[in-house]
Amino acid sequence: MRYNYSMFSSFPRLRLAVIFLTCLLPFSLGADSFWDDIHWSYRSGLLFFSADNGPGADPAPILPSGGFSAAWQFWGPLRLELTEDIYFANYEYNTALGYAMACNSENRSAFVMGFLSGIQLTGVFPIGENAAVRVFGGPVADFRLVVLAFGLNHPGDFTGNIETDAGLQTDAIRDYFWNNGRWIFPVLGAGMDFPINEKFLLGFDMRLWFPFYRLWTDKALPAADGWRFGIGLRITPRKTSR
């Protein structure tokens, strides 16, 4: 009876173990093929943040960026691609219009590091044997780290008036970026890739980010504000046959 009870009590755990191993086996057998369908890329480029802040403001910024992506080729020419692009810029707060705007270093209040994190659907279409065209699009979130600009430690930088106080402006810039969905930037783009040797592809991208949040906020701002354009190069390790 004790033996039968022991077998009976352990059977559910044994059954769960068999089910778990059965589910795990196909994944283990297909792990190599799954990773064979993953494509990594590393890229750098320039970002243009369109703005029309009037004659007294600094010109719209052109910013360097760097990043990477991982794409899963799940069917034919289609890939599901995760992207990350990092940039940084100086910002000030326009108290008259109530919004943050990029600026030159002499007018800075805040240092902003942005993490453009996206998930997009990418179509890759070969052209002959030596090139491929990519078209892509999807949602992007700009997660911005906003801190007091470096080097602002003089008493004159903290006047208690938001028009001239770097600390108060930094807080206002942070609140502006993180409210009303101002971090939502869907992207559309296209690019091409060419083999440069047996191990790597060289490519270029052109991208356009839409200020989607302007559908419900900041409607009084100039039409050019919020749009972003990017151009850059990318390096993709080539897949080798086994």
* Same domain (yes/no): 11, 97: no
Residue 197 lies in a domain: yes
* Same domain (yes/no): 18, 107: no
Interval 152-167: pLDDT, tens: 988 888 999 999 999 9
Q: Report how far residue 44's alpha carbon sits from residue 67's, in angstroms, rounded to the nearest whole number.
A: 6
185: buried, middle or exposed (CB in 10 Å: 19+, 13-18, 0-12)? Answer: buried
Residue 9 has pLDDT above 70, yes or no: no
Residue 242 lies in a domain: no
Residue 215 lies in a domain: yes
Residue-number span of the structural domain to which 149 is assigned: 38-237
Give the percent of the chain with pLDDT over 90: 73
Residue 32: per-residue pLDDT = 55
* Same domain (yes/no): 22, 127: no
Residue 196 lies in a domain: yes
* Same domain (yes/no): 150, 209: yes
* Same domain (yes/no): 12, 105: no
Residue 29 lies in a domain: yes
Residue 131 has pLDDT above 90, yes or no: yes
Tell me how many domains the chain contains.
2
* Same domain (yes/no): 151, 163: yes
- Phi, psi of 89, deg, nearest 5: -160, 160
pLDDT confidence band for 21 (50 / 70 / 90): very low
Higher pLDDT, residue 14 or 166 = 166
**Mean pLDDT of the 133-138 span:** 98
- Termini Cα distance of the chain: 56
Give residue 75's Cα distance to chain centre.
24
Residue 45 lies in a domain: yes
* Same domain (yes/no): 14, 65: no
* Same domain (yes/no): 27, 132: no
210 contacts: CB under 8 Å, gap ≥ 6: 185, 186, 187, 188, 227
Interval 173-215: pLDDT, tens: 999 999 999 999 999 999 999 999 989 999 999 999 999 999 9
Residue 65 has pLDDT above 90, yes or no: yes
